[in-house]
Structure 1
Amino acid sequence: MAALQWSEDLALDLPQMDGTHQEFVQLLQAVEEAPDADLPTAWQALVEHTSEHFAQEDRWMQATQFASGNCHSLQHKVVLKVMREGGEQGDLRVLRAMAGELATWFPQHTDSMDAALAAHLRRVGFDPATGVVHQPAALPAEPIQGCGGACSSGEEALAEAEAA
């Protein structure tokens, strides 16, 4: 059995994000269950998905006033870089170890950074399918510099603390 299973505990009540997350979990399971001969191909599929997955969330952040250097985006860059480097090494033991680490990391990332992003997107009325912000007055006055959660600075941190 794969180390990470999809469950409603991972759902963030944002269908497009949840669907992308379900696909990530399925691809990670495929990596974990792949025989050695198929592991590099399964890993590459996971890397390609993750690249688009993170790019999609980064576009949403940019469209809704997250600064380009916020810690959520930076974490995406670091994780993807490590995944790519692991694939380039071609060591199957490394890929299997990385898959186990991703199975531990992903729920934590979802519960913290992605949950904060989903709450922010709902607050500003962002439609991920169209990119339209239906409540532009709810956008922060300045780009969010932190993680979009408790470590955000300025008005956004205060608004999030009051909403909690």
Structure 2
Amino acid sequence: MTALQWSDEMALDLPLMDSTHKEFIELLQAVEAADDASLLTVWKELVEHTDAHFGQEDRWMADTRFASSNCHSVQHKVVLRIMREGQERAEKGELFVLREMGRELQTWAVQHTQLMDSALALHLRRVGYDPLTGEVVSPDNLPKELIHGCAGACSSGDDEVALAGAEH
């Protein structure tokens, strides 16, 4: 499989989000290219980056009235937990798990960016959110109720229940 490449179609017009996504893709490329001796080290860098990446997006959602149980945040928790489980298996010698996870994450990253992150980016622009300062420039545009779906990508809440079930 050819490693995922950053493209303009993945850009969401939020510089901090876009640069974080580019870094994520670069780390996925490094996982793809790593030899067995360096794979676990590169994977740990990916997990560390992903933890910060997801935490950053989760803070943005919390700042702009997303419920902590929204499907976007839940998906972050599930993916990060699975990545850590893969790391534990690799530490026991099962490096093939990380290779497979790296390939699967490439597909997931594109879908997650196009669906959930694009909806979040639209929401952040609508409320005038500054991701560097946490300031909301247009507080009148904040939703009156907490967002329980994914800001348009899956607003019914049904998927949220399904993802929460996947945690168990």
Partner of 2:104: 101
Matches within 5 A, 1:8-157: 8-90=8-90, 91-152=94-155
Residues 29-72 of structure 1: CA deviation (Å, up to 9, x unaligned): 00000011000000000000000000000000000000000000
How far apart, CA to CA, are the structure 1 residues paired with 2:149 and 2:97?
31
Cα deviation for residue 151 of structure 1 reads 2.5
For residue 62 of structure 1, what is the amino acid of its counterpart? A
Assess if the C-alpha contact under 8 Å between 1:2 and 1:29 holds in 2. no
For residue 62 of structure 2, what is the amino acid of its counterpart? Q
Structure 1 runs of 4+ aligned residues shifted over 3 Å read none
How far apart, CA to CA, are the structure 1 residues paired with 2:97 and 2:9?
28
How far apart, CA to CA, are the structure 1 residues paired with 2:6 and 2:39?
21
Cα deviation for residue 2 of structure 1 reads 4.1
Q: CA RMSD in A?
A: 1.0
Q: Larger deviation: 90-99 or 144-153?
A: 144-153
For residue 80 of structure 2, what is the amino acid of its counterpart? L
How far apart, CA to CA, are the structure 2 residues paired with 1:10 and 1:127?
20
Assess if the C-alpha contact under 8 Å between 1:2 and 1:33 holds in 2. no
How far apart, CA to CA, are the structure 2 residues paired with 1:28 and 1:71?
23
Q: What is the TM-score normalised by the length of structure 2?
A: 0.89
Count of residues paired in the alignment: 153
Residues 84-122 of structure 1: CA deviation (Å, up to 9, x unaligned): 000011111110000000001000000000000000000
> Any stretches of 5+ residues in structure 2 without a counterpart?
157-168
How far apart, CA to CA, are the structure 1 residues paired with 2:119 and 2:29?
25
Name the % identity: 66
How far apart, CA to CA, are the structure 2 residues paired with 1:2 and 1:130?
37
Q: What is the TM-score normalised by the length of structure 1?
A: 0.91
